[in-house]
Amino acid sequence: MRSGEVKRRTNETDISVKLGLDGAGKAEISTGIGFFDHMLDLFARHSLIDLAVTVKGDTHIDDHHSVEDAGIALGEAVRQALGDKKGIRRYADVHLPMDETLTRVAIDVSGRPFLVFRTSFKAEKIGTFDTELVREFFQAFAMNAGITLHVETLYGDNAHHIAESCFKGLARALRHALEVDPREGGRVPSTKGAL
């Protein structure tokens, strides 16, 4: 099992992430933020990554540090679990429908972190969750996982559906991009021989 474990402690957050890339999507999530727990739960389920995440953060201020730092730690754990990336599929893309919403997610496990995020929300909050934190999570995750990540919501209205389509789309694209492809024969999927 390709696994990763990251512990991140600052003056703002205390985070533990443990994951297995070749799992069944088992999730043990506790961030202190209800909607974010829901997003990480479905991220695990749809990526088939076994995921345990605990976040203790300074939510008396707001949820920003908790969500961003969770993205940093999760990205770091994925990069750790990937190791030399030998045999992986590398590229994947998905159109993820959720009711009236359609979001496209495309991934390149490139080692060159980059985020294109073309999703906007009419609502500022989903429950108590600030919708602007979806982008913060994706930015932190992409930068620390070392992936090129493109997210665009082609159309949608409901903020819950839009956010959920982004997290599910990331999960489904990762599931495919990180899978070991037997046709790669254990090689690094790059003509330069390294990623």
Binding residues (CB under 6 A) for ligand IYP: these are 42, 160-161, 164
Structure token pair of residue 179: 């899978």
Shortest distance (Å) from residue 161 CB to ligand IYP: 6
Shortest distance (Å) from residue 195 CB to ligand IYP: 32
- The residue sitting closest to ligand IYP, measured at its beta carbon, is 160
Shortest distance (Å) from residue 110 CB to ligand IYP: 29
Judged by beta carbon, residue 46 or residue 79, the one nearer ligand IYP is 46
Judged by beta carbon, residue 87 or residue 97, the one nearer ligand IYP is 97
Q: String of b and e for 142-177 (b: at least 16 CB within 10 Å)?
A: bbbbbbbbbbebeebebbbbbbbbbbbbbbbbbbbb
Judged by beta carbon, residue 6 or residue 94, the one nearer ligand IYP is 94
Shortest distance (Å) from residue 96 CB to ligand IYP: 10
Judged by beta carbon, residue 69 or residue 164, the one nearer ligand IYP is 164
Amino acid (one-letter) located at 83 = G
- How crowded is residue 100: how many other Cβ atoms within 10 Å of its Cβ? 11
Judged by beta carbon, residue 10 or residue 128, the one nearer ligand IYP is 128
Shortest distance (Å) from residue 46 CB to ligand IYP: 8
Give the contacts of 89 (CB within 8 A, at least 6 positions apart): 176, 177, 178, 179, 180, 181, 184, 189
| Phi and psi at residue 119, to the nearest 5° | -140, 135
State how beta strands 50-57 and 101-108 pair.
unpaired
Cβ-contact 93, 106 below 8 angstroms: yes
